[in-house]
Structure 1
Amino acid sequence: MSVANNKLHLSSPSLKFISRLFILLSIFYFMNNNLFAAGLQFLRIPVFSRSEGMAGAYTGVAEGCESFFYNPAGLSAGEKTDYEATAGYVSWLEGMSKESIVFITPADIFPIVRGISIDYFTVGDLKKYNVSGTEIGALDYQDIAAAVNLGADMGNFIFGCNLKYLKEDIDKYKGSGFAVDAGILYPFSKTNRIGLSASNMGSFSLEDVSIDLPITIRAGLGISGKKVTLGLDAEKNADNTYLHLGGELKLQERYFLRAGIKNAEMGNVTTFGLGMNTELGVQDEWKPSFQQGQKTASKKVLKINYSFQGGGYFSESIHRFDIGVSF
């Protein structure tokens, strides 16, 4: 094994072992009748706006902080030289909300560590009642997921995974567990690539009661040009198989228009999104490296994104907003 040009080069037997292991794990979960059981559903709620403006058609596109959710291999694609920190928020149905914070590191800082994320989910103002129907206080309900992303560009394809710690508090009841997300990207041309990912493979216990996690399998095609990015995804979860189609148009190198459509649990849903990147300046700085420090010219870029989701059975509007900076 060797590291060169920010790529991890493995021997042929190692490549075969990793790819076969990923395929075998996928087959095992597909054959399991309890594959798509419904626990900890907050893990299925995406937060960041770029992917959701494109209706979640992102498994093949897989860039930036959204890769944590759709395809962990995305954080190991390309020659990333900047740090990036992003915070996102989504106001979900019936007062539920989810916040995410993602921090991404340059490819040369550590050999395979690409970033970390923290998700926090709450269900709003819930009340507790006794057997006679009298209110006796507020019900505390919250979920937390913390993850570290590992990955490498292996030459013919890109591999990535998230190792996640899960925690749930429902009033006096406590639960915890661990899960893994895994994904691959296969670039078959300079602008086109195929993605495959499996999310939430693991175990969770709430007060000694085992709860199956909401496994989600995705396959997608990403097409990225100078001005236009297109995505097409197929998603399999507990309810059904769904299709996502979306696109992004870049204007003047700093503004972005996004739109998409998907058939999901809530019915046919349309999405729309806006984005803006603003350069804050350029400065020389010393960046630590896994092998040695190096002086680089770093651009500071502020990234602001918003997305809107409408339609479906509930006819409720869902808004997402995130702000980030690369430096």
Structure 2
Amino acid sequence: MRKIYLIIVLLISGQWLFAQSKAGTSAAPELTIPVGARYTAMAGASGVLAEGVEAITWNPGGVDWIIGNGQAMFSHRRYIADIGINYLALVVKFGFGSVGLSLRTFDFGDIPITTEFQPDGTGEVISPNFFVASLTYSKRLSDRVSVGVNFNLVNESFGRVSATGFAFDAGIQYRNMLNISGLSLGVVVKNIGPTMKYGGSGLWVRAVVPGSERGVTFYKVEAASFPMPTSFEIGLGYNYTIGEVNNLSLAGLYQANNFYAIDAYKFGFEYSFKNIFFLRAGYNYSKSGELTSIWHHYTLGAGVNTESLIGLKVSFDYAYVPVTYFSANHVFNLKVGF
């Protein structure tokens, strides 16, 4: 148990390391976009307590709580500015723990190319290609504690420039904490890694240096490096069974960000009937003084698990996420167990 407490202390200490300076920009902002409808519908409040395949992006420490031998999941999110996000993940349980693979792709559509001399467009278009590939490992250390780590490969490219980065997440979950049945603690540090920097032939421009006798020649624009959007999350959850058919889950979470001037406080609940039908709601409080995040809103969602109905380990989930200044996001996902 001393080792378990040490792990928790180290992860909590990460808050002070990564939350001291609030950077206005960061690399790979796509790493911060939640995927999966279930926990998104609860504003991410119970994300640090996620389990199975859905825990890959929320808290890898919960992946080994998978039910059965494995799970697969597909999710689609209609993000702001008509950006489409597709997510595919697979988790398989082994004797030494659980291993997961996942892939996130981003569809930006075609974007017209403009220049300082042709602000209305050159007639050409670019199609940015962003993806995040992840490898996850999770292990239950006891009947109460599990740990996990997630390795992310990030790639961004558009036109003739590209950038590649690496980041990892580390998390822990402690269930039935303080010998209280249903009380759980989750801690996770996300997106720890080196800076990212763009390169490629698109950064070479034709120019003349004043006072130079070389005339027009090619010069490379040196792109700036930006840090990963590291964050720290700690949350508590409580599950309570009412009778034999009703279950209520409550959760609260604090998120410290090094990529934004506002930290977040998230609250959510889930009601389930016979583990078949689910109703979910949450609230993301992301406000500090006069600064308010576009995600400072409520969230809603629902789901259905077909196992008790037709005998198949298949579930469908949906989340509705309002966004300030933009159209609401809609998140759908399909999960299959085996």
Identity of aligned residues (%): 22
- Which one of the candidate residues 83, 90, 107 is aligned to 1:122? 107
Based on CA coordinates, which of the two structures has the bigger radius of gyration? 2
Aligned pair 1:142/2:157, yes or no? no
Give the distance between the partners of 1:181 and 1:50, measured in 2 at CA: 20
- Which one of the candidate residues 152, 173, 176 is aligned to 2:164? 176
- Aligned counterpart, 2:332: 321
- Aligned counterpart, 1:66: 54
Compare 246-255 and 64-73 and name the one that shifted more: 64-73
- Aligned counterpart, 1:225: 240
- Aligned counterpart, 1:303: 315
- Aligned counterpart, 2:193: 202
- Aligned counterpart, 1:279: 307
Structure 1 segments unaligned to the other structure (5+ residues): 1-10, 283-298
Give the distance between the partners of 1:65 and 1:116, measured in 2 at CA: 9
**Secondary structure in structure 2 of the residue aligned to 1:214:** coil
Amino acid at match of 1:29: F
**Secondary structure in structure 1 of the residue aligned to 2:275:** coil
> Superposition pairs for residues 48-197 of structure 1, below 5 Å?
48-77=36-65, 80-106=67-93, 109-130=94-115, 131-133=117-119, 134-155=121-142, 157-187=145-175, 188=177, 189-197=180-188
Give the distance between the partners of 1:24 and 1:267, measured in 2 at CA: 26
Give the distance between the partners of 1:24 and 1:63, measured in 2 at CA: 24
Amino acid at match of 2:107: T
Give the distance between the partners of 2:90 and 2:174, measured in 1 at CA: 24
Deviations 1:126-162 (A, max 9, x none): 1112422333311121211111111222236321110
- Aligned counterpart, 2:214: none
Give the distance between the partners of 2:284 and 2:14, measured in 1 at CA: 28
Give the distance between the partners of 1:19 and 1:231, measured in 2 at CA: 19
Give the distance between the partners of 1:102 and 1:113, measured in 2 at CA: 13
Amino acid at match of 1:159: V
Alignment TM-score, normalising by the size of structure 1: 0.81
Give the distance between the partners of 2:160 and 2:140, measured in 1 at CA: 44
Question: How far is the alpha carbon of 1:215 from its aligned partner?
Answer: 1.0
Question: How far is the alpha carbon of 1:96 from its aligned partner?
Answer: 1.2
Question: How far is the alpha carbon of 1:210 from its aligned partner?
Answer: 2.8
Amino acid at match of 2:104: D
**Secondary structure in structure 2 of the residue aligned to 1:55:** coil
Q: Matched residue pairs, number? A: 295
Give the distance between the partners of 2:316 and 2:5, measured in 1 at CA: 41
- Aligned counterpart, 2:227: 212
Does structure 2 conserve the Cα–Cα contact (< 8 Å) formed by 1:61 and 1:223?
no
Deviations 1:180-232 (A, max 9, x none): 10111122033111111111111233217532111121111111234111111
Amino acid at match of 1:72: P
Does structure 1 conserve the Cα–Cα contact (< 8 Å) formed by 2:73 and 2:336?
yes
Compare 245-254 and 21-30 and name the one that shifted more: 21-30
Give the distance between the partners of 2:7 and 2:266, measured in 1 at CA: 29
Compare 50-59 and 112-121 and name the one that shifted more: 112-121
